[in-house]
Amino acid sequence: MAGGAGTRFWPLSTEERPKQFLALTGDRTLIQMSYDRIVDLVGPERILVLTSASYTSLVAEQLPDLPAENIVGEPCRRDTAAAVALAALLVEHRFGDVPMAVLTADHVIGPLSDFHTALTEAVQNCGEGTLYTLGIAPTYPATQFGYLEMDSQVDGGELPHFALKTFKEKPDLETAKSFVASGSYYWNSGMFVWQTADIISEFETHLPEHLRTLRPVISRVDGQEFVEAFGRLQPISVDFAILEKAKRIQAVIPRIQWDDVGGWLAVAKYLEQDANENSIHGKVSPVESRSNTVFLEDSAEEIVLLGVQDLVVVRSEGRTLVASKDHLDLIKGAVKGLKS
């Protein structure tokens, strides 16, 4: 799934070039890193990228080995249930009833071998009505993630596997602290594995209109009929519409480092660090300055910091962000104001 248009990385991220198409943590963009993680498992012919119709050319440019017909543009945003229903019907139409993984295009994950182990064990244990999700062991009481409440542990392989009790929405801080303290809750990674027929069966039970709308046009996803059909779908998340109601869900807990790279402070640890705890990308000269994060996209430009601390400074294509670290939550509203 590669359709997001987040604003937390403004000014580098814009609606024309959102987060998944940016090289925030190295030389490869986030979508390229996501592709790299799975291409050796299945080959480019069995990787489908669902994105916004306005980003299909960007996907083709950044993933040149991907077959053109495997880049599917959604004509409008209809949330994740629409994306998953569309993906499942495409997989069924092109490949039959096979295991399918729903993965994200904008996260940082490693080590690769441990991620492959988790996917492989999920594939081996899904089926016969059992859906799988990947849970992440929490390292702090995060309020920006949903949580998975685990039931009893089940046999599944080398990694821990659990029957899933419930999905929990993003909690407040005190609730998140109680989740982490209990040891029974894991972060919801938003990554899933299931047999194609099983997820389609769940849609038939809980959201049949999505299937009725998309099935007649599934062989013509580049045509006007598809555009009109997709636009009629109800916007709703797959968690709320399907997964919270499904009867048989299990979770595997990978041994991976997982980062949703949720904002500029999350990027800081991937940048060059100086002796004064400044995190730097580009030609930056900090003088008597400490604990700043500076990202300069254009190698021909330069930024000088004089006697400042705890700032985030980002410069991209004539746009500049200067923010104190504890006010970064204002970015989304500020960008909306710029558009209006």
Amino acid (one-letter) located at 126: C
Q: What confidence score (pLDDT) does residue 3 get?
A: 86
Q: Count of CB atoms within 10 A of residue 226's CB?
A: 21
* Separation CA 66–CA 43 (nearest Å): 9
What is the full DSSP assignment across 290-301? BS-EEEE--TT-
Q: What is the pLDDT of residues 203-215, one digit of tens each?
A: 999 999 999 999 9
Contact 190, 262 (CB under 8 A): no
**Region 60-72: what's the mean pLDDT?**
97
Q: Count of CB atoms within 10 A of residue 147's CB?
A: 24
* Separation CA 97–CA 92 (nearest Å): 6
Q: What is the pLDDT of residues 166-223, one digit of tens each?
A: 999 899 999 999 999 999 999 999 999 999 999 999 999 999 999 999 999 999 999 9
Q: How far is CA 165 from each of CA 79, 239, 242, rounded to the nearest angstrom?
A: 24, 14, 14
Residue 159 burial by CB count (10 A; 0-12/13-18/19+): exposed, middle or buried? middle
Q: Where are the domains of the chain?
A: 19-259, 264-339
* Separation CA 203–CA 209 (nearest Å): 8
Confidence of residue 6 (pLDDT cuts 50, 70, 90): low
Q: 171 by DSSP, 3-state: which?
A: coil
DSSP 166: E
Confidence of residue 14 (pLDDT cuts 50, 70, 90): confident
Q: What is the pLDDT of residues 88-107, one digit of tens each?
A: 999 999 999 999 999 999 99
Hey, which residues does 305 pair with through a beta bridge? 286
User: What's the first-to-final CA gap in the chain, in angstroms?
Assistant: 28
What is the full DSSP assignment across 62-106? H-TTS-GGGEEEESS--HHHHHHHHHHHHHHHHH-S-EEEE--SS
Topology of domain 19-259, CATH: Spore Coat Polysaccharide Biosynthesis Protein SpsA; Chain A (3.90.550)
**Region 247-266: what's the mean pLDDT?**
94
Q: What confidence score (pLDDT) does residue 262 get?
A: 85
Residue 304, both tokens = 């000088």
- Please give the mean pLDDT across all residues of the chain: 95
Q: What confidence score (pLDDT) does residue 340 get?
A: 65
